[in-house]
Amino acid sequence: MKLTFPDHFMWGSAASATQTEGASQQFGKGKNIWDRWFELEPERFHNRVGPEHTSQFYQNMKEDIPRLVATGHNSFRTSISWSRLYPEGTGDINPQAVDFYNAMIDALIENGITPIINLFHFDMPLAMQDIGGFENEQVAHHFARYAASSFRLFGDRVKYWFTFNEPIVHVEGGYLYNFHYPNRVDPQAAVRVAFNTLYASALAIEQYRAQEQDGKIGIVLNLTPSYPRSQHPADLRAAEIADLFFNRSFLDPAVKGTFPPELLTLLEKHNLMPSGLGQACAVIQRNTVDFLGVNYYHPRRVCARHSLPNPEAPFTPEYYFDNYTMPGSRINEDKNWEIYEKGLYDIALNIRDNYGNTPWMVSENGFGVKDERNRIVNGELNDDYRIQFYRDHLFWLHKGIAEGSHCFGYHVWTFIDNWSWSNAYRNRYGLISLDLQTGSRLVKKSGHWFKALHDNNGFDY
């Protein structure tokens, strides 16, 4: 069958400043938490490759943007580096950053590509982290001032903004599971950081609307549908609670302006509720998003716990459930992630039915492969596995759109193989392969396929 997508559908990819720009402390940029963590613990990064070893988009931008056209982009999401624009997180603006981002935005538009700009992609300025990061409510106000400056500087041309990318990740990684700096296991801090992140997002939205610009502003959430092992009440309950913590904790306040009452009850039960939230809650309630970005890679499968939780251990949501591997599921062994395309359809209907059919886009969807450059033969990289991954997800996305879900775009992760946090270059995701030694770029078979997808606004399935 031929699958055709709505007119003016956004095709493209997503990236982030820290993962692509390079020039970690050049051209006026201040340090962020990734620069600091790599200095402290380089052994925790794959092959000891740190954030200075990226695809060097800062220096190669003029050559890379035409490559976006060649791989079927009519839109592109990246982020502004807070610590590049404001080296100390506040204070004076770095004029070299303004010049770079102006040049980038102008070049995108000149090449027929709609810029979509995100303000925070895990990259807290070190000066802000040194005063507590989002544990400190004042940092939320510094973020709002940075956002307001970005809108003022670039909003005449940028009409699609995101405040945060996957905000639950810096909560989990930094304060629950120890895979992001500051590498703490502190559930009370985690809740405070989550709340102040939502507050910061709402303050930024408030600043955007105060400037009366004519674009739209939203937030990117990594939604992972929570599927129960069975229809047994205990498994169903486990899935409900997993959904509360990992999806609805950010989705409900972002779209509806309110927190799920049951989530607040659970936090109170564990003495995790922050105090003095009234004014901030009012700001969150008033400043809901215009649209959503949804990053989808894999589902979450859960079941009732097999043993009683340890009441003395630091709290995590797994107090209420066990993670579960479904027999017969397909797994990307390089990431240990389940491949379940229908999850995208379930997300589409959930947004349609439970969140007012808010406009949304797939802001990331991708397939990471270890040692992928070993697959280059005669100057070609035939990544048919990635094309099949896209095709199958787009089939289910198309079905969701046909049934009324208001999705207006599909972005893959990512454009050029990029540095990926502590995983560095362990897994490759790009439409274009990067040679780390020479910096040369090679369009993969998926990049050519994506160009045809864009040109036809669909594909034969």
Task: Considering only CA atoms, give the Rg of the chain.
Answer: 21
Note every long-range contact of 434-437, with CB atoms under 8 Å and residues 24 or more positions apart, other chains counting: 434/55, 435/373, 436/53
Cα 301 to the chain's mean position, in Å? 21
Strand partners, 118: 79, 162
Active-site entry in 135, 166, 338, 372: 166
- Report the alpha-carbon distance of residue 106 to residue 198 in Å, rounded: 30
Q: What does the pLDDT read at residue 54?
A: 86
Unique residue bearing structure tokens 């450059």? 373
Residues 6+ apart with CB under 8 A from 155: 161, 208, 211, 213, 215
Q: What does the pLDDT read at residue 55?
A: 85
Half-sphere exposure at residue 358, Cβ-oriented, CA atoms within 13 angstroms:
24
Judge contact between 250 and 222, C-beta under 8 A.
Answer: no
- Domain covering 2-460, topology: TIM Barrel (3.20.20)
Output the CA–CA distances (angstroms, integers) from residue 87 to 27, 32, 92, 95, in the order listed.
10, 9, 8, 11
Is 372 annotated as catalytic?
A: no
Active-site entry in 172, 338, 364, 372: 364
Cβ-based neighbour number of residue 179 at 10 Å: 14
Strand partners, 114: 75
Q: What is the pLDDT of residues 263-305, one digit of tens each?
A: 999 999 999 999 888 899 999 999 999 999 999 999 999 999 9
Unique residue bearing structure tokens 């990049």? 447
Mark the ranges of the chain whose per-residue pLDDT is less than 70.
Answer: 23-24
Give me 456's structure tokens: 């036809």
- As a whole number, the mean pLDDT across the chain is 96
Residues 6+ apart with CB under 8 A from 347: 223, 225, 294, 296, 400
The closest alpha carbon to 299, from 331, 321, 328, belongs to 331
Q: What does the pLDDT read at residue 276?
A: 82
- Report the alpha-carbon distance of residue 415 to residue 210 in Å, rounded: 34
Residues 6+ apart with CB under 8 A from 269: none
Output the CA–CA distances (angstroms, integers) from residue 8 to 1, 81, 149, 280, 398, in the order listed.
21, 29, 30, 37, 15
Residues 6+ apart with CB under 8 A from 159: 114, 214, 215, 216
Is 88 annotated as catalytic?
A: no
Q: What does the pLDDT read at residue 24?
A: 66
Q: What does the pLDDT read at residue 273?
A: 93
The closest alpha carbon to 142, from 88, 80, 73, belongs to 88
